Amino acid sequence: MYGALWRILPGPWWVRLLLLLVLIAAVVYALFTWVFPWVDLILNPIDVTVEQ
């Protein structure tokens, strides 16, 4: 998969590396902005059922 992504990206290796870093940063930003808060609402770690 990573090899296919590397071949799809245009330009010399340093442009590909820069684009790949930008893509990784965008995915991490999307995860922290939308995905993780949504999962937190579903899982709700505060409602534990283990007694102390």
Asked whether the beta carbons of 18 and 6 are under 8 A apart, the reply is no
Helix (H, G, I), strand (E, B) or coil at 34: helix
The whole-angstrom distance between residue 12's C-alpha and the CA centroid of its chain comes to 25
Mean pLDDT across the stretch 4-10? 90
Mean pLDDT across the stretch 16-21? 94
Cα within 13 Å of Cα(3), Cβ side: 0
Average pLDDT, the chain: 87
pLDDT value at residue 42: 84
Spatial neighbors of 15 by CB under 8 A, at least 6 apart, are 9
Beta strand spans in the chain (E): none
* Distance, CA of 40 to CA of 35 (rounded, Å): 9
**Residue 46: pLDDT over 80:** no
**Residue 16: pLDDT over 90:** yes
